[in-house]
Amino acid sequence: MSHKLINQFCTLTLLVFISSFSHSVSAHTRSVSYSNWLINNDQIIMTFIAPAREVTKLNEYQLLYPDLAASLEKHLVNSIHLNPSSKLINNKALLTEQGTVGIELIYKIDKKNIPLRIEMNAFYDVTSSHTHYATINTREGLNKSIIVNEQNRSFEILSLDEKSKDQTIKEVIFGYIDLGFTHILSGFDHLVFLLLLLLLCSSLKELFFTATGFTVGHSLTLFLAASNLVIPNTKIIESLIGLTIVITAIEAINLPIIDKKRMWLGSIFLFIFLLLISVSTSIIDNSLFIIGIGLLTISYLKLIQDQDTASRYRPLLACIFGTIHGFGFANILNEMGIVKTNYLQALFSFNIGVELGQILVLTVLWISYTYIKKHTKNKYFFEIRSLISSILLSIGLYWLITRLFI
């Protein structure tokens, strides 16, 4: 009896921990913003885009609630500085896609003040892990991408004359490799999914083929989305990434077959209920999306009832899920505006950076995983794996719900 009470207490404690941890994780991984700096004659036109949820964290929002645009505008005016000082001559809100806020600032500059140093302090007072992606363009065609973070908050504009040249191929390649590498290491949802793939694999060979399937999938959709051949809905993609984590974590928990069947039946009733809500109310405004994720979840839960079948098709499943994550990877390139010159080199280099980050993460995780497995009794090892999977399931569910409904 006491053992049962201890288990219940630990479960309750774990749920409280997950609730608080999930919120901080979500804030940490999605704290990004983007800017485009167009340099034309004696003016700099800067467009700044940030997720609405990031703007709600600003102190200015507490004062100007519920005006998101005014809050971001005031924050940017106070936190972006051009040295030598340049005059701000105009600022206005931009029409952006749902869930984002856009502001345009126009500065008057003097060519005598070049090189111009830009200090970007936006959001760091509320989120130290914030990452900003800036793209510099000039009328002569110069195009350069820069990553700004808390440790490196400034960058320079070196020239405005017509002799300015585009980044060399070498600069493009290494710049976009660094961008891809940094992006996956700061994308906690992608890292969580990689950890779950590892937990499902019983050997290094199986992990290799599973990771390869994931790579093929996200490389394909990264190219399609970054090339604007396919334009995905950001909200739906972010929600689907949460869903991939949820259903993969369910498999990793390694439930008894009877519980898997019950969960499969339960998922059918759940998605019928959600579909009815989406049809009869405006709470969920995309019935086709609900049908899609319902069919995906039900099919996956049916498949994993047979462990051998699930293992055999895992690389293919990882490839399918990789296509979803690839659209997520492409979001950053679409927001920044990938360089027009050396386009293919930039896209390929970004993907290489993502792969290098993925290899690093999986290598570290596999070494840690095999060490723990070797030095832990089987009974306790599977309990630990199920516990980790349960935590990741809760985080994925949190992401799915908040990204879909909030």
- Residues 342-375 pLDDT 10s: 678 888 888 999 999 999 999 999 999 898 888 8
For residue 281, give the DSSP letter: S
The residue ranges of every structural domain in the chain are: 31-166, 183-405
pTM: 0.72
Least confident of 153-157, 222-226, 278-282: 278-282
Integer Cα distance of 326 and 242 in angstroms: 14
Integer Cα distance of 323 and 313 in angstroms: 16
Q: Is the dihedral of CA 355, 358, 364, 370 positive or negative?
A: negative
Q: Could you read off the pLDDT of 237-290 as tens digits, one per residue?
A: 888 899 899 999 988 887 666 666 776 777 777 677 666 665 555 555 566 777
Residue 40 pLDDT more than 90? Answer: no
Residue 13's pLDDT band (cuts 50, 70, 90): very low
- Give CA separation, 353 vs 215, 299, 357, 363, in Å: 12, 33, 6, 15
Residue 381 pLDDT more than 80? Answer: yes
Helices (H), 36-187: 52-55, 59-64, 68-79, 169-186
Average pLDDT, the chain: 79
What pLDDT, on a 0 to 100 scale, did the predictor assign at position 197? 93
Residue 56 pLDDT more than 60? Answer: yes
What pLDDT, on a 0 to 100 scale, did the predictor assign at position 212? 93
For residue 104, give the DSSP letter: E
Starting at the edge strand found earlier in the chain, the sheet holding 100-108 runs 87-94, 100-108, 43-51, 32-40, 131-138, 143-148
Residue 341's pLDDT band (cuts 50, 70, 90): low
Integer Cα distance of 43 and 224 in angstroms: 34
Residue 20's pLDDT band (cuts 50, 70, 90): very low
